[in-house]
């Protein structure tokens, strides 16, 4: 009887392992879109087993040569504006207030959902501008539309509880329309305050599958959040010359995440753009590489 029980236990373990392997194999992987143009420049250094990387960013090459009009209009080869056919400017009425937002891709049955939350002085239009930030938002739009996904760029009233409530309501609505979708929230600059608030909420903290902080801030309360307890992947992109949110503070926070997760390595990555400034990570983040990594690690 003991032998049979042990055999059954081993069979159960084998079946569980097989299911995990199949689940990993079936994980969504975004197809390429202009990968050669948006690949990171050379890496200057790397540590933390590859989780921390310093990238050789150069303004003359990465802005002046890439843009037709520096910081205003990228050269044509970096974009495909045909994606605008999949773009809608919408209004969602919620208990937290009306949420105006731009949606690109499948508003129902999406395989993956990505939100971009703008910083101080921004609006929903920033996240869907095809030509600024080196065409990087156009690439994100095309990646979502081309992979059966949904991209959302909302307006919100503030970076406090009211703003977080409206973004949470937006996430709740589209999550119900696409129950199988993994949900990733990217936050630029001050928008990071909302990333951390969403991680701390009982609803979104248990629903989102990854956070991207781009030239943004840190929040120690993350360690007590539902998102942290679920090991939600966190990506940091930061310019070394960011005078708004100093890179040293964000690096220290990144390393504290690793330090608090020794028993099981926390899925986090940090890309430092050497000589980059406050807006550099939004221009330079490799959306496809980062989101594919997050899809492979998402709870």
Neighbours of 126 (CB within 10 A): 19
User: Whole-number mean pLDDT of the chain?
Assistant: 92
User: What is the CATH classification number for the domain harbouring 121?
Assistant: 3.40.50.1820
Q: What is the pLDDT of residues 209-261, one digit of tens each?
A: 999 999 999 999 999 999 999 999 999 999 999 999 999 999 999 999 999 88
pLDDT score for 26: 64
The answer to whether residue 95 sits within a structural domain is yes
Residue 204 forms part of a structural domain: yes
Rounded to 10 degrees, the C-alpha dihedral 153/156/160/162 comes to -120
Cα 23–chain centre separation: 21
Q: What are the backbone dihedrals phi and psi of residue 110, each rounded to the nearest 5 degrees, phi first? A: -75, 145
Q: Residue 139: inside a domain, yes or no?
A: yes
* pLDDT (0 to 100) of residue 49: 84
Is residue 7 domain-resident? no
| pLDDT in the model for residue 100 | 98
Task: Write out residues in the chain with pLDDT < 50, as ranges.
Answer: 1-25
Considering only CA atoms, which of 198, 222, 239 is closest in space to residue 115? 198
In a domain, 10, yes or no: no
Structure tokens at 45: 């250094």
Q: Domain range spanning residue 151?
A: 33-297
Distance CA 33, CA 14 (A): 38
Share of the chain above pLDDT 90, in %: 88
Dig out the tokens for 108 from the structure. Answer: 């129902």
Q: Is residue 112 part of a domain?
A: yes
Phi, psi at residue 140, to the nearest 5°? Answer: -60, -40
Q: How far is residue 147 from each of residues 9, 40, 82, 190, 289, measured CA to CA in Å?
A: 39, 22, 15, 29, 14
In a domain, 168, yes or no: yes
Closest by CA to 218, choosing from 251, 185, 240, 261, is 251
Please indicate, yes or no, if residue 189 is contained in any of the structural domains: yes
Q: Give me the pLDDT at residue 73, please.
A: 98
Against a cut of 0.85, is the pTM above it?
yes
Total structural domains in the chain?
1
């Amino acid at each position: 009887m003991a032998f049979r029980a042990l055999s059954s236990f081993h069979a159960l373990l084998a079946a569980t392992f097989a299911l995990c392997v199949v689940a990993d194999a079936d994980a969504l992987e975004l197809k390429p879109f202009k990968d050669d143009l948006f690949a990171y420049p050379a890496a200057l250094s790397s540590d933390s087993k590859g989780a921390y990387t310093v990238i050789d960013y150069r303004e003359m090459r990465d802005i002046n040569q890439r843009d037709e009009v520096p910081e205003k209009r990228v050269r044509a080869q970096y974009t495909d504006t045909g994606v605008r056919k999949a773009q809608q400017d919408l209004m969602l009425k919620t208990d937290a207030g009306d949420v105006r937002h731009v949606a690109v891709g499948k508003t129902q049955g999406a395989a993956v959902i990505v939100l971009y939350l703008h910083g101080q002085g921004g609006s929903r239009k920033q996240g869907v501008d095809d030509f600024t930030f080196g065409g990087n938002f156009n690439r994100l739009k095309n990646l979502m539309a081309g992979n059966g996904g949904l991209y959302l760029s909302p307006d919100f009233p503030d970076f406090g509880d009211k703003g977080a409530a409206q973004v949470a309501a937006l996430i709740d609505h589209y999550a119900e329309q696409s129950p199988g979708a993994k949900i990733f929230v990217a936050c630029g600059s001050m928008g990071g305050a909302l990333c951390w608030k969403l991680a701390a909420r009982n609803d979104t903290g248990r629903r989102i599958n990854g956070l991207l902080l781009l030239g943004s801030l840190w929040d120690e309360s993350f360690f007590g959040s539902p998102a942290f307890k679920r090991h939600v992947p966190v990506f940091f992109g930061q310019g070394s010359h960011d005078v708004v949110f100093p890179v040293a503070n964000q690096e220290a926070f990144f390393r504290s995440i690793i330090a608090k997760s020794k028993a099981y390595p926390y899925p986090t990555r940090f890309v430092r753009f050497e000589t980059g400034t406050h807006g550099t990570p939004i221009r330079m983040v490799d959306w496809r590489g980062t989101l594919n990594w997050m899809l492979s690690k998402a709870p």
